[in-house]
Structure 1
């Protein structure tokens, strides 16, 4: 009689199947808060645009309010990075959300009364939005274990992409029943949810090489602590190379989308349908890219991410030649897929590699440079088109989008987005 085979050892047993990250209550609360902040962020300019349509605001006033919001965002990002590393990341999210939530009804009060009051409130709203970005990024690392952070970051970016569609649509739907004042109060309630719903994470320990908080007070202490974050970023060559590539792509490719795409849609195709179709294709591609990267673990994650980032070059390139609108939409869908193939591993690598007590400051540097320089590109591209022509400028943007990630890939540590190439998160 044959002897029964021995039961498999633990080494031979298949690994347990991981539970979906959205079934984790702590992360679900964080994800809900981030989604609420995303809805509020995307709804505000749309609601203010509705105020222009009903002549409550002028176009000039709208430009002033959006500029004030951008200034508040850029001013708050580095400050929030320092505060989120110095104090509780959960506390920064709370106070940032409360500030943005209080600003929304103040904007409503200023309608037809005081543009300066509205601009000040818009700056506070932008500051709340900017303060949340590095705090949410660092809080994710506290709430989620290392093995599931890529899935968590994919879920977070999925929420961002969904809100780009749902935010304006929901605002337009509610505008049928509510006036602008009520919609602004609703945005304030969304910020209140963003402030109060996320829970507290388990603060990771300080890295062995981390220094104590800098002595001093006020601006001197802030600059010293932010400088520590810059020094931490410089310890990671892959981060500097990737950030340079991301900044270049956003400053050129994003600017081409924001300025040149409406012009090409109007002049070459004679319809706004192309513009709407292209933006829908980009968002759909981004959703698909986030779903893909939630499960995919490439052998060289950094190079795969940079290749995805380079895919944004197809967007301005499709506007250079007189092609069928479907080709332009396909190019933007590829750009959307590629940007998420970059974003999710990029955020995950930062959460893994950066010293835990400096993560918020490094994240704030990321947002400050990559998104902070985008308005510069928007301001420059229109005069450049007037001087050199649309074709030349779009071709130049495409070249930069392809060349910047390829150049970054020459830095050896970008292959794995790690200073230790063999180190990777477990799937």
Structure 2
């Protein structure tokens, strides 16, 4: 980008040199893409194992649950380690751990669900350890003027992997058995470990370090110094808890009971991904004057997803609502990541990013577990109405925090 993120310059502007021509960024981009492919492919490959009866549905649930537990346990620890040591080193060891653990999932297939579960927990830990380290490494590899473009390119790759990973696994399943597909996801983790470039050297150790919990607490205190961050994270958590849960629980029910076909479910999720791709492309080229407000407005668009499930509308309305939700989530994500990299003290960036991922990803399974009983107790329409209302109101409330206008404590006057 040709101007600082705080200049408030106009909407569409020319770029000097594309970030995709920078070798170091391309290596980072390829590494994050490989990790995304491995992450999204694993549940699909295990689903194929259920279809060929080498894994039961209950076993699948256990393996995926332990992977999530490993992810959530590793995120805060890796945030501390990535600030304490080299971010590149944390990415390497996290990716290597996931690469080495994945073959044990294949070994346990059809033999030992406990072995698969333990290996999946290690893979999840590797995935969780990579996230804050990748976020902080991006700030080291990409100069500040082009971070929004870089973050958009990375999130674009993430969205593409949600389409490519399952489709690619399905195509490869024609010629390869499930064992080899699992080993292939391990190879992707090895690529994620080896490709990213070096960032800044590890900070020098100054005296006796506090314990991990104390260092993570320092990251929490840094997050509290940024009211826009706390407000935005609260809004994001509310939207994930309600809107994302409505997608995971209510959308399949509506697709089956109202429309009588699973095609509506598949088409709505595809529309969401395509909307997210469009959002990533748009935000790579466009910078709003009030970036924070624009991002929060994008986050509020997720409210149209549960709203479209309330009434017996034409399926096209549901598809349009989910495309808007996907568009909006990337209009939020990219400025959010960019602002975090810009505003947070560099030595604490991984810890603050880990707090971000811990809250947002941690609430996702909680919301999914909560919504189904809520629908049984209160009915589908009231629950969906509340979900839509929360999705609209939470970002609006966050926008009332003064520093949320530009996602900066130093707002322009």
TM-score normalised by length of structure 2: 0.95
What is the aligned counterpart of 2:404 among 414, 419, 422?
A: 414
Going from structure 1 to structure 2, the CA distance change for 1:382 and 1:109 (only over 3 Å counts) comes to same
Question: Does the C-alpha gap of structure 1 residues 237 and 78 become closer, same or farther in structure 2, counting only changes over 3 Å?
Answer: same
Superposition deviation, residue 215 in structure 1: 3.4
Pick from 117, 123, 130: which aligns with 1:132? 130
Decide whether aligned partners of structure 1 residues 55 and 221 sit closer, same or farther in structure 2, where only a CA change above 3 A counts. Answer: same
Where does structure 1 differ by over 6 angstroms across 4 or more consecutive aligned residues? none
Quick check: 2:78–2:90 contact (8 Å CA) kept in 1? yes
Instruction: Provide the secondary structure at the position in 2 that maps to 1:419.
Output: coil
Count of paired positions: 401
1:235 aligns with 2:233: no
Question: What is the deviation of 1:205?
Answer: 8.3
Give yes or no for contact 2:304–2:388 (8 Å, CA) kept in 1.
yes
TM-score (structure 1 length as normaliser):
0.92
1:8-407 to structure 2, matched below 5 A, reads 17-202=15-200, 215-216=208-209, 221-407=211-397
Cα displacement (A) at 1:316: 0.3
* Aligned counterparts of 1:393 and 1:214: Cα–Cα separation in 2: 53
- The 2-side partners of 1:256 and 1:281 are apart by 16
What is the CA deviation profile of residues 246-295 of structure 1, one whole-angstrom value per residue up to 9, with x for unaligned ones? 00001110000001000000000000111111011000000000000001
Task: Provide the C-alpha distance between the structure 1 equivalents of 2:300 and 2:62, rounded to a whole number of angstroms.
Answer: 34
CA–CA separation in structure 1 for the residues paired with 2:232 and 2:336: 8
Shift of 1:202: 3.1
**Mapped contact 1:213–1:225 kept (Cα < 8 A):** no
Q: 1:275 to 1:137 in 2, by over 3 A?
A: same
Change (3 A) 1:383 1:213: farther
The offset of 1:204, in angstroms, is 9.6
Runs of at least 5 residues in structure 2 that lack an aligned partner in the other structure: 1-12
The Cα of 1:371 is off from its aligned counterpart by 1.1
The corresponding residue for 1:5 is: none
- d(CA) in 1 for partners of 2:132 and 2:331? 20
Q: Distance in 1 between matches of 2:70 and 2:103?
A: 17
Cα RMSD for the two superposed structures: 1.5
Structure 1 residues 364 and 150, CA, compared in 2 at 3 Å: closer, same or farther?
same
2 CA distance for matches of 1:276 and 1:133? Answer: 28
Matched-pair contact (CA < 8 Å) for 2:84–2:202: no
Long gaps (5+) in structure 1: 1-14, 207-211
Instruction: Kindly indicate whether the alpha-carbon contact (under 8 Å) linking 1:133 and 1:364 is maintained by their aligned counterparts in 2.
Output: yes
CA distance in 1 between partners of 2:392 and 2:123 (Å) = 35
Give the deviation of 1:104 after TM superposition: 1.0
Give the 3 Å change call, closer, same or farther, for CA 214–410 of structure 1 in structure 2: farther
CA contact (8 A) 1:82 1:226 kept: yes
